[in-house]
Every structure is written in structure tokens, then in C-alpha cells.
Amino acid sequence: MQNFQLWAQPWWVNLSLLIPVIAYSRWRRKGLLLTWRQIGLLTSFAVAFGFVEASVVVYLRAASGLLPGYTGTLSDLQNAPDGYEQAKSIAEFPSRLLTIEIFREAATMVMLASLALLAAPKARERWAVFLWTFAVWDIAYYLGLWATVRWPTSPEDFDVLFLIPVPWLAEVWFPVLVSALTLGAIAIMLSKRNPA
């Protein structure tokens, strides 16, 4: 744990830890008008989308020559001698592909927001749907990267979380923790109102 880094960069990224707390406190009184069936369907979408997102990231890195050991098959990627370093690959990314990465991230947010707008009739439930699908998508993204390129190798691996408006940097455990807390807050609210 000598390389463990507690705080994300820039400093304001750490405020994302407050999202599940604030959401829970706002929903506590009235609850959420979502069913477990809706949550199940949203989870299916988010898991699939997370894997697609991880695949696209792998393909973009491979196309730019930033995946060590890449010779054309996923098994070659998994056995790469140097290992895959997400944060390093962004620093070395060609500017044209970096622009594609930024637009890909923006498109991801548009897709998740559109899903939330379609899935729920009221603002509080839309926000819950967005947060739920974002959290599941985020965890599925890391699982998808691990399944394809065996990265992250540890929760302490450093990652570029997001590029808009500037790069957000943290160890992998940080976004996974925020996502898990978010899922927990929403699940507690649903359990109170809609027991399984």
C-alpha cells in the first residue's frame, strides 16, 4: 500500500463522494417511485453498455498502438509483458484520438441521460435512474476492461476517470467506491418503498 493515493485530482473530483449522500438525503422523505423490475432492466442495459464502452476503449488504444503486446488478438493483449496502463496511454494519446475520446465520453453521458429521461416520469426518479445506470455502467466498464486486457490489475491502479472539462485522475478504487455507495443508497430507498 505504499503507492496508495487517497485523493483524486483535480480536488473537486473528490466531491463526487457526496453524490450518494446528497441523493439519499433528498429521497429519504418521499422515496422513489421505481420498481425492482425497472431497476433490473436498467441494470441489464448498464452492464451491456459498460462492456461495449470497455471494448471501444480497448479498440481505440489498439488502433493508436498504445496497448503493449498488441498483435491482433485479445489473448495477446491479456499476456502483454509490459501490462496495460490506462493513465499512461492517455498521456501518449494522439490529439486526434483524444478528441474522439472526449466525444465518446460526451456521447456516453447523453445516452445515460436520455435513458433516464425515457425511463422515469419525474425528476427525482430520472436522477435515480441516471445515477443507477451510471454506477452499474462504471463498474461493468472496469470489469469489461479486466476481462479483455486484464486491467486493472489492482484497485490501486491509477486511471483517467473522465476527460471533460479536464482529466480526472484517481486510483480505480475511488470510482468503484462512489458507484457502490450510489447503488447502495438507491437500493435502500427502493427496499423501503418496494420490498422485493
- Helix axes of 173-193 and 18-27: crossing angle, nearest 10 degrees: 10
Residue 22 domain-assigned? no
Strand partners, 108: none
Question: Whole-model pTM?
Answer: 0.85
The span from the CA of 125 to the CA of 117, in Å, is 9
Is 120 within a domain?
Answer: yes
The answer to whether residue 9 is domain-embedded is no
Instruction: Flag whether 125 is in a domain.
Output: yes
Q: Is residue 10 part of a domain?
A: no
Q: Which residues contact 96 (CB under 8 A, 6 or more apart)?
A: none
Which structural domain, as residue segments, surrounds residue 114?
Answer: 30-193
71, part of any domain:
yes
Q: Tens digit of pLDDT for each residue in 28-78? A: 988 899 999 999 999 999 999 999 999 888 887 777 677 666 655 444 544
> How many domains does the chain divide into?
1
The dihedrals phi and psi of 41, each to the nearest 5 degrees, come to -65, -40
Q: Is the dihedral of CA 42, 44, 47, 48 positive or negative?
A: negative
Q: What are phi and psi of 108, to 5 degrees?
A: -60, -45
In a domain, 91, yes or no: yes
Please report whether residue 85 resides in a domain. yes
Label residue 132 by pLDDT band (50, 70, 90). Answer: very high
Region 133-140 average pLDDT: 97
